[in-house]
Amino acid sequence: MGLILFKTTKGGYSLDSLVPVHIYDIGLDMTFTGYGDTLRVETYLPVPDDRFTIEDERRLSDLPLYAEHREHGNRLGVWSGPDQMGPGTIHINYRAYAKAFRYRIDPAIKIPGPPAAENLPFLEVTKTIQARDPEIRTLAASLAPTGGSLLVALHRIQDYCMGLTGVSFKGTTDALTALRLGEASCNGKSRLFVAMCRSQGIPARLVGGLILEAGKKRTSHQWLEVLIGPYWVPFCPTNGHFASIPSNYLPLYYGDEVLFRHSRDINFNYGFTISRRDGIRAELLQQGLHDPLNLMSVWDTFRKAGIPFELLKVLLMIPLGTLVLVILRNVVGLQTFGTFLPILIAIAFRQTGLYWGLLAFVVLILLLFLVRQAIRPLGLLHIPQMAIMLSFSVVFILTLGAIGARHGFINLASVSLFPIAIMAITTERFSLMIEEEGFRRTTEITLMTAFGIACCYWIMNAMAFQILFLTFPELVLVVLALNIWLGRWIGMRVMEFWRFRHLLFGQGGGHA
């Protein structure tokens, strides 16, 4: 506790860094059909900046040629190939996490006068942003008079655009059409916002990207940014974000662009698949690399030796998992296969997830039990029996992995990473216990083992505990102290209260 107090008061440790950050795994699948001509597909890819990070980007394509073009801060990926015939696919996968940003606009800032030369592109009039149209100029002048407060003007413009009736429209709505109809989708509202800003000499630009939500989607989103001093300040008149941007807004391009371009008549289709999980803030990792009191400084040494960060988290959470198991066995009275097998299996479930892991665990145990019963008449020695069961484990797990990969169940496909030896040992104990204690008692212990696995999994994979122990590894001393205290436990277990309830509470009128 003294070390924790020192770190938070004198060591510069920010408790804000203990809050997990949302990490999104994003997949983009594009499909097309070629008819023997040259085929071309283009889409914008995210460019990391100070607000968000992109990691582990991978691209897989049936088109042989790939090139990237950089312009106006955008990154355009181009796939092409001559004489393309038949169906093809392009897969893009990457990991993204971002911070939510909020800007404070000084009320004293006035609507700018003559613009600087470098800002002229953000004041341009286009076919879809008619900043010089009389209707738009009249409205903009009433909402944002020259020389007035920029903060007040932006509030008025945003309120007006938010007041337009929202419609779901996949095409392009220009600013003037949105104004005249009084309704628009996200792109129409944002174009009208930009048009009114440009009409009054305020540099502004459109931004296109994704709102990151778990699931599958085909819809992108548009918002805008206004140049205030050296900062591009975000606004979203569709969802009401004023001078702020949530952590799940991912920009893909800047400017009045379209997300996809491709050759004509190729039956093009696309879809995004997004999943979310919690992770550790980058500043926590960076802070720890240079702090001798932080475990991250030790990990930097391990990293140079090729030891992954995920392994460090697993090792650090094992003591906490053992504490959970001690409580379940010594205090609750749970019985499991082996002393620490539930912890090892819970670690294996990190690859599969709890649901698919437990399903594979139960099915594999039952399958190998049937295999063991089938080979018993052969009178084999113990080690050959284990070798046969291990072979069946490999076949079963590879089959599950193939089924998962074929039908798109990513977690089921990860079952192929199951530690086969652990499962074989568990199955052996299951089979021996049936012979010694019967099927009913063995089933009870199997269910208690599954419950213990689930408890260890939940605790060891809780991001709050992982961040807490990575920041304050001295908490392992607290775990040791609790183990010492629980090691002296001589009271009745919780399950014994239920088992002997008739004697303890006089229920049922039985005799001693």
Q: Once rounded to an integer, what is the mean pLDDT over residues 381-389?
A: 80
| CATH code of the domain occupying 101-246 | 3.10.620.30
pLDDT tens for 86-101 read 899 999 999 898 888 8
> Which of 65-79, 304-318, 353-367, 411-425 has the lowest average pLDDT?
411-425
CA distance 356 to 412: 6
In the chain, where are the structural domains located? Answer: 27-98+262-279, 101-246, 308-502
DSSP three-state, residue 271: strand
- Is pLDDT at 14 greater than 70 in this prediction? no
Task: Quick: pLDDT tens for 63-86.
Answer: 999 999 998 889 999 999 998 888
Structure tokens at 268: 């093009």
> Is pLDDT of 288 > 60?
no
Which pTM was predicted? 0.63
List beta partners, residue 241: 236
Q: Is residue 296 pLDDT above 90, yes or no?
A: no
274 forms bridges with which residues in the sheet?
Answer: 26, 215
Phi (first) and psi of residue 77, to 5 degrees: -90, 130
> What is the C-alpha to C-alpha distance for residues 262 and 34, in angstroms, rounded to an integer?
11
Composition of the chain by helix, strand, coil, percent to 5: 50, 25, 30
pLDDT average, residue stretch 50-58: 85
Per-residue model confidence as pLDDT tens digits over 435-469 = 777 778 888 888 888 898 899 988 988 877 887 88
| Beta strands at 249-254 and 260-262: parallel, antiparallel or unpaired | unpaired
Pairing mode, if any, of strands 65-71 and 74-81?
antiparallel
pLDDT digits (tens, 9 = 90+) for 108-149: 999 876 777 788 889 999 999 999 999 999 999 999 998 899
Question: Which SS3 state, helix, strand or coil, does residue 461 take?
Answer: coil
- Percent of the chain topping pLDDT 70: 84
Strands annotated E in 155-268: 165-166, 183-184, 204-211, 215-217, 221-228, 231-236, 241-242, 244-245, 249-254, 260-262
Using DSSP bridges, classify how beta strands 249-254 and 183-184 pair: parallel, antiparallel or unpaired: unpaired
Tokens of 450: 């599954």
Fold of the CATH domain 27-98+262-279: Immunoglobulin-like (2.60.40)
For residue 512, is pLDDT > 50? Answer: no
